[in-house]
Amino acid sequence: MTLDRRGATLGLLSSAGAALPLARAWAQTSPAASAAPSPSAAGAAVAGAPPAAPGDTQPPAAGNTSPTQVGTTRDKFEHLVAPVDIDSQGPFQFILDTGANVSCVSNELAQRLMLAPAGQASVHTMVGVRERPSFMMKTLTIGDRSRRNVRAPALPAFGGKVDGVLGVDWLAGQRLVLDFRRKKIEITGSIYESPTENRVIVPCRRRLGQLTIVDANMSGHRVSAMIDSGSQATLCNAALHDLVQRMEARSPFRHEHMPIHLETIAGEPFDGDLFYLPFLRLGGLNIGNVPTVFSWETQVFDIWGLKDVPAIVLGMDLLVQFESVAMDFSRNQVRFDIA
């Protein structure tokens, strides 16, 4: 199955603050696939990086295990934002970040709610590690589901009116559906699903709580792919960037690379290089001309153990091209739905 990305756009800010020209990608649609969802332009903004504290693992979510549906909005950086309650207060607006293995709270909200201090925590963003104060939430609730005694690092800024980050720590053994067409998320127990004409099921393995797609390649070269709803842009590591450069050197065609300026979700600036992957296959799903960002400053691939193998993080610019994306953390698989 081939994803038709006609009209897909990616807007980012340059270091001077002026908006760069919108990048656009196309792909041919195979007979088995129909048109992709209406494209959604990424905001003229920055790529968020996944805050993670690898040593701060917690048990699976407790409480009601019935299906939960929650309406979502988008912040100015195109992140999915969902309402949550903390200690029976709220709702507060949290970014849904499948690239973060722990949930985080804004420093301002922690102080406003007078959350109990819980020591220092090492927080890894896309470009480095920082020691941050952490706080204890008695309950963290989204829809009908709650977790108790959640230790959450505090971050200084989230860019806009956002109060925190929901990481994958509360999804252990569960299934998360990012429904872009209906503007909602759904949390359920694990279920068996089979592929159809417009539905692709891709096997994964778990790495520090996140799901890594194992059946993926770029123009015949095997890659590791992770889904990160906390990143506005799709990002790659040095190994994949080097592979693309070697392929481009052998090609008779001119390939453009565009310097851009980005920030992590915690407001840390870094510079990147925007270019296009000629072809990306995720299981039975084929995607052409994928806009991708590389930066020498990124360190998160090292944390995930993906420094030396070609790897890519699928950001919101790519995810919103689907009708929905379902991540099953019990069966270790991802489902992509094409409208």
What are the tens digits of pLDDT across the range 118-173? 999 888 777 778 888 999 999 999 988 888 999 999 987 665 578 999 988 877 78
SS3 169: helix
Please report the pLDDT score of residue 159 as a whole number: 55
Q: For residues 63-67, give the mean pLDDT.
A: 60
297 phi/psi in degrees, rounded to 5: -85, -15
> Which among 334, 206, 230 has a CA at the least distance from the CA of 282?
334
> Which among 165, 189, 190 has a CA at the least distance from the CA of 103?
165
Cβ atoms of 51 and 153 within 8 Å: the answer is yes
Please state, in angstroms and rounded to a whole number, the distance separating the CA atoms of residues 97 and 6. Answer: 26
Torsional class of 304: left (φ above 0), alpha (ψ -120 to 50), beta (otherwise): alpha
Query: Using one digit for the tens of pLDDT, what is the confidence trace for 27-64?
Result: 222 333 322 222 222 222 233 333 433 333 334 444 44
Q: Using alpha carbons, list the distances in angstroms from residue 245 to 39, 146, 242, 257.
A: 28, 47, 5, 10
Q: For residues 105-122, give the mean pLDDT.
A: 92
Q: Using alpha carbons, list the distances in angstroms from residue 138 to 141, 146, 166, 329.
A: 10, 10, 15, 24
CB contact burial 180-209 (16+ within 10 A = b; e otherwise): beeebbbbbeeeeeeeeeebbbbebeeebb
Choice among 45-49, 74-78, 80-84, 289-293 with the minimum mean pLDDT: 45-49
pTM of the complete model beyond 0.85: no
Residue 30's Cβ-side half-sphere holds a number of Cα atoms within 13 Å equal to 13
Please state, in angstroms and rounded to a whole number, the distance separating the CA atoms of residues 273 and 216. Answer: 22
Please state, in angstroms and rounded to a whole number, the distance separating the CA atoms of residues 105 and 169. Answer: 14
Cβ atoms of 69 and 185 within 8 Å: the answer is yes
* 211 vs 38: which has the higher pLDDT: 211
Please state, in angstroms and rounded to a whole number, the distance separating the CA atoms of residues 83 and 155. Answer: 18
